[in-house]
Amino acid sequence: MAELLGVLSTPHETVAAIERLQKAGFKKLDVYSPVQSHEIEHALDRGPSRVRAWTLIGGLTGVTVGYAAQILAAYDWPMVIGGKPFASIPAYTIVAFELTILFGGVLTVLGLVAHGFLGASRQNPAYRPAFSQDEFGFLVECHSDQIGRVQELLGEAGCKEVRVVEG
């Protein structure tokens, strides 16, 4: 297997390059981008991020823990306060709500770290500092015998520079 890098300068060009390579049957594509781009995301079509599930689990845990902890604490040492029932749902809704947000938010970030960073810890030598500034790096994985074809396609897509990534 070989990996090629093409350098582009706008999201628009990058999307066009993705579509061109996809049409030619290359599926293992990746992009280094200095900005978020819905178009690139759409073109690569990876489906919704799994971070969704983390938020949901966090929120549900938070609301459960919130109500349960308060009600259990109230019955652990029952004390009438302000003439209110021990398990005062209206009053407990506040802390339960806050914990829903807290757990949901923390788990969302953990999900981001788990999916976005831990899996991507491999340092790809193709990366270069300009990809966080103003250039778009387009990575194509292909068989060694297709290098010429990919180089050609990347050139047609308007890459400023095309080279083979040295492992």
Strand partners, 80: none
Decide if residue 92 touches another protein (CB under 8 A): yes
- Name the minimum Å distance from CB 55 to another protein: 5
Decide if residue 119 touches another protein (CB under 8 A): yes
| Residue 166 tokens, joined | 């040295």
Cα dist. 5→18, 34, 44, 149, 151 in Å? Answer: 12, 16, 16, 13, 9
- In terms of CB distance, is 48 or 148 closer to another protein? 48
Find the binder of another protein among 28, 81, 156, 163 (CB under 8 A): 81
Decide if residue 116 touches another protein (CB under 8 A): yes
d(CA 162, CA 138): 9
Identity (one letter) of the amino acid at 166? E
Residues between 32 and 61 with contacts to another protein, criterion CB under 8 A: 32-37, 40-41, 44, 46, 48-52, 55, 59
Q: Are 27 and 18 in contact (CB under 8 A)?
A: no
Count, residues near another protein per rule CB under 8 A: 70
- In terms of CB distance, is 97 or 152 closer to another protein? 97
| Residue 167 tokens, joined | 């492992």
Please spell the DSSP secondary structure of 56-119, one letter per residue.
HHHHHHHHHHHHHHHHHHHHHS---BTTB-SS-HHHHHHHHHHHHHHHHHHHHHHHHIIIIIIT
Site string for another protein, 125-154 (x = CB under 8 A): --x-xxxxxx--------------------
Decide if residue 22 touches another protein (CB under 8 A): no
Residue numbers at the binding site for another protein (CB under 8 A): 10-12, 30-37, 40-41, 44, 46, 48-52, 55, 59, 69-70, 73-74, 76-77, 81-92, 94-95, 97-99, 101-102, 104-106, 108-109, 111-113, 115-117, 119-121, 123-124, 127, 129-134
